[in-house]
A and B are shown apart, each in its own frame.
Chain A
Amino acid sequence: MALHTGRGFACINYPIGMNLGGDPSQALVHSTPDGKFKVTLSAIDLGQGMKSVTRQIAAEALGVPIADVYVDTADSDTGPHDMGSFASRGTHRMGNAVIRAATEARRAMLEAAAEELEVNAADLETDGKGNIHVKGAPSRSITVEDTAVAAQFNQGRTLAGRGIFLIPPSEANADTGEMSPVTTFAHAALVVDLTVDDETGEVSVQQINSAYEVGRALNARLVEQQLIGGAWMGVSHALYETTEPYYPARDHMPGDFVEYLQPGPGQVADHHIAILERPAEDGPYGGKGPGEMCANPVIPAVANAVYNAVGVRCDSLPITPEKILRGIKANGGARPQGKF
């Protein structure tokens, strides 16, 4: 009777955005009289940080401080159409729509500033701190606030923009499956270290080392949150969760969190993450969307690590102690495969 250590590896890519397109997102941006910007959307913040990431994108594209941007989302009377928050499409699709809307608003802002400064709008740039100045001559400047006041009360000009982003819909071929599924992929690779108790069949994940390529981490903390939470979900899917423990039979369905197992705080393994960024050509600032993919490599890596530890291949999820013990018994004992 012993604890066996095992190590498993898996790597994946993940398609970003709704398959085969046809999923538009729209955004509206406008300034208040004192040069603050409202971003109006119908995107859903599920906790993934949709409001925050679109706010950062708008601030970047406008060239104004983030404190001067506020995102108002998901009131169908005010927000324009958006397909929704699913299929890793939020950041990619809505982010691009926000860039377009903010770019149009920025253009109006620079034109209004140009009129006040009596220069050409093409010669102006923003400092990201709330000022607009002539390129190479920071002293010839005007604040965004003064620009907005002048635009709305002297010039009769709106500082506003519209944006839509759409990958046009296409179809899959019936005979070959040819298609244009998505325009970009995120990537991940991950090593799981765990122990298997050959007496109880219990698996304990000890450590995860991973690399996730996300195009661009638009918000460092939000990416971190997704990756750590997503890996937890992967461990949970691999080792604990199922709504039908004897699938395809429907017996013993859990009805609450007492019967539906998930790892608790004491079972969360240390996770050491490296984030890689290879910008996607059509992603907002290169961003892809890390949310959905992060659990995917964990599940097979855990299965591979269990095999590495005791020589039992669990090809059906979840990998319960019962399945492991039956496998060990069928093999006539644990068969550690040796670390690679």
Chain B
Amino acid sequence: MSSVEFRKDLFADERDDNLNEIGKPTIRQDIIGHVTGRSKFYDDHLFDGLLHMRCVRSPHHHANIRHVDTSAAERMPGIRRIIRPSDVPHNINTLLALINFGRDDEQLLSAGRVTYKGEPILAVVADTERQARDAVAAVRVEYEELPHVLDVEEALKPGAPTVNAEYPNNSFDYHDLYDHQKLRFGDTQAALAQADHIVEGTYQMSPIEQAPVETCGAIAAPEQNGRYVCHTSTQALFFSIGVTAKLLDMPSSQLHFIGGTVGGGFGGKVDSHHEPLAVLGAMLTGRPVKYMWDRTEEFRVGAPRGAERWRIRDGVMNDGRIVAREFTGFFDSGAYTRLSSYAIIKGTGHLPGPYTIPNVSSNVYCVYTNRTPATAMRGFGITGVDFAIECHMDKVAETVGMNPIELRILNAYRDGDMKAHRRVAKNCALIECCQVAAQKAGITLSPEAMAASSKEGGGIGWRAEVPETAIDDMGRIGDRRNREIPPEPYGGATQRGSVPAGTRGEAVVAAEVQDPDMQIDPTRVGHAVSQAVGQPAPPTPAPQSGAPIPAPVPAPAPAPTASAPPPIPAPSAAPPPQQPAPSAFAEPGAPAQPQQPYKPEKPFQRGVKRPGVSRFISGTRRR
């Protein structure tokens, strides 16, 4: 039996727990409809005369389309329309065109060339799904197979087959400058040279399927006045409207999209592939059209969470402090960009994980390969690198012979620390999570680890500062076509330079309310609004050495005895200085009990069992 408790004792001074509705285990507004099968999902909107759409798909990883013969399919019963690439009014798009990120690189139906197994080249609209499937099977396509590439590092080598015509180097172009996204903070090379230990690892996350119970799809039908209604499973209603309006070259005011009740998404329902095809089908036939993936399509041509490969190289001191961390990352985007390029920026902003490390660098590549394009999934841009980082932390702990939880608390980021993306950390709670999880599992931590706090010891000395940073020009767009270049940070650079210490811009915060009467009364927001958040570190002296230490690179390896104070304060060696306020963990090992832990009224039940009734009953369809 699982259990849930609320640790209301922690951070209690930052919260008002006496709100009327917030925090209550209120029953869902829509749950009765869901459990009685009455909620309408997109597939419950049935129309008289509904037509069904299926796609003709590439059987090859990479091929030219020599000839398409639809004559037999056209003569089959019930076939209403065969939709070709030339029927799509503006047959090129990239998902993130809506935020002006990247170039259009993907067709709705592909003409001329296919670049992954399963790529759609034609859509067939028929009276029944069976007829549509039969017609798809009757379409004859003559292909000329081309060399393909499936591995991300192979794809980056000179001479690899070009996958995506818009990005002929097989990598997304970042900032019109580099074939990868860089992160540079301090000088990892110098710091690695002075570390006691180098810990390296390579981690591979395999592609997985979002696997929603409701497969992706849309039903479109002509409305009045030249408008089209579309019932959709999309996770992003206006995203899908924008994509549809662009591909079909029509004003968005002609589109009426309805959704919002979705049978699981997990990221796989952002791609907006079904809505434009269903609306196009309705436009071309004048009839309601449904385009819905079956389970096999969901698995094989639905965009998965892409594979990621990460290499990490850490410089670690004998006492467990990590002084340098280098990443090299490869996102397998598949044949088209979709959202992978953007997830890489998100992932880069996440590095080096929830730790304060004075020297961090990373190169991350969005690589095109001849496979199903990848897209978002729960944790997009973060899950893969978190797997790598947290496996790696255990290797570091083993290398220096430390308890893995204490190693993390030692290196954890705290309020006021400077992060590698040059913004100040605030609202941290990693240390407290480590302490509570350890306590729940019955793991005894050292008194120092139990006394640590996210609110104390951060933002002091070097921890608050942006170090002088070594930069380089390696991996300019197209360089890899001509020669092999090591993908690691600084690898194969022809020029190096540096950015002065302290260089950073302002944090971007929420836009102000447009009208004062939308501003919530500060007494009603339910939590303390700290004055110090986002401000530079308080002028507290550094714990051991009084002088500020701007240099990012650690001093030469400290002597075995603690005679020379290391430049990096080691919280495990000494308790945080002059901290009068005992936090929630004032009594190590015996945190206060929550006052009123939340408990479910009834134990969880898995599934519903009624004699003689299918567990999968979903109610009656209505028109």
Contact = CB atoms under 8 A, between A and B. Distances in A.
B518 A42 contact: no
B434 interface: yes
A278 B14 contact: yes
A276 B260 CA distance: 30
B505 to A, nearest CB: 7
Interface in A4-43: 7-15, 19-22, 42-43
Interface stretch (A136-144, A148-156, A290-298): A290-298
A340 B518 CA distance: 52
Contact of B207 (A10, A61, A210, A244): A244
Contact of B345 (A20, A248, A277): A20
B449 interface: no
A175 B471 contact: yes
A187 B433 CA distance: 7
A268 B263 CA distance: 22
A167 B260 contact: no
B4 A248 contact: no
A9 B404 contact: yes
Nearest to A272: B3
Contacts of A273: 2-5
Contact of A276 (B10, B362, B404): B10
A221 B443 CA distance: 28
A168 B508 contact: yes
Nearest to A316: B204
Interface majority SS on B: helix, strand, loop or mixed? loop
B262 interface: yes
Contacts of B11: 276-279
A44 B236 contact: yes
B371 A76 contact: no
B250 interface: no
A112 interface: no
Contacts of A304: 390-391, 394, 404
Nearest to A169: B99
B237 A84 contact: yes
B499 interface: yes
Interface string B597-620: 010100010110000000000000
Contacts of B150: 248-250
Contacts, number: 505
A45 interface: yes
A75 B258 contact: yes
B206 A299 contact: no
Contacts of A191: 437-438, 440-441, 443
A280 interface: yes
B117 interface: yes
B184 A43 contact: no
Contacts of B422: 176, 178-179
A231 B393 CA distance: 20
Given A15-B346, A217-B6, A256-B295, A299 B383 contact: yes
Nearest to A262: B211
A274 B181 contact: no
A274 B1 CA distance: 15
Contact of B10 (A220, A278, A315, A316): A278
A212 B20 CA distance: 23
A286 B15 contact: yes
A271 interface: yes
A73 B112 CA distance: 41
B237 A82 contact: yes
Interface residues of A, number: 152
B369 interface: yes
Contacts of B126: none
Contact of A316 (B203, B235, B304, B440): B203
Interface string B15-33: 1000111111111111000
A208 to B, nearest CB: 8
Nearest to A165: B510
Interface in A202-228: 209-213, 215-222, 224, 227-228
A128 B371 CA distance: 55
Contacts of B564: none
Nearest to A83: B236
B52 interface: no
Contacts of A165: 510-511
Interface string B255-270: 1111111111111011
A233 B265 CA distance: 13
Contacts of A281: 426-427, 527, 529-530, 533
A277 B382 contact: no
A85 B266 CA distance: 9
B264 A47 contact: yes
B336 interface: no
Interface in A86-124: 86-87, 96, 99-101, 103-104, 107
A119 B517 CA distance: 19
A303 B387 contact: yes
A165 B513 CA distance: 8
A268 B1 CA distance: 10
Nearest to A213: B429
Interface in B382-401: 382-383, 386-391, 393-395
A11 B353 CA distance: 9
Given A265-B607, A279-B14, A84 B257 contact: no
Contacts of B197: none
Contacts of B426: 281
A332 interface: no
A180 interface: yes
Interface stretch (B278-286, B373-381, B480-488): B373-381
B348 A177 contact: yes
Candidate in A82, A189, A191 with the most chain B CB atoms within 10 angstroms: A189
B236 A296 contact: no
B20 A60 contact: yes
Contacts of A256: 295-296, 299
B518 A12 contact: no
B103 interface: no
A103 B517 contact: yes
B514 to A, nearest CB: 7
B7 A276 contact: yes
Contacts of B175: 172, 174
A172 B533 contact: no
Given A183-B510, A217-B23, A286-B15, A44 B28 contact: no
Given A86-B376, A176-B185, A167 B508 contact: yes
Contacts of A12: 353-354, 382, 386, 390
Which 7 A-B pairs give the minimum distances between C-beta atoms? A84-B236, A74-B260, A181-B349, A300-B390, A177-B183, A279-B527, A128-B20
29 contacts: A11-B408, A11-B433, A14-B379, A19-B345, A46-B266, A46-B269, A47-B262, A70-B29, A75-B258, A86-B376, A103-B517, A103-B518, A174-B174, A176-B184, A177-B181, A177-B185, A179-B422, A185-B354, A189-B437, A211-B434, A211-B437, A216-B15, A216-B22, A219-B24, A247-B204, A248-B151, A254-B299, A275-B7, A300-B388
Given A177-B349, A313-B391, 14 more contacts: A49-B28, A56-B26, A74-B237, A82-B237, A85-B265, A100-B519, A174-B177, A183-B507, A233-B378, A254-B299, A270-B2, A281-B427, A285-B527, A286-B526
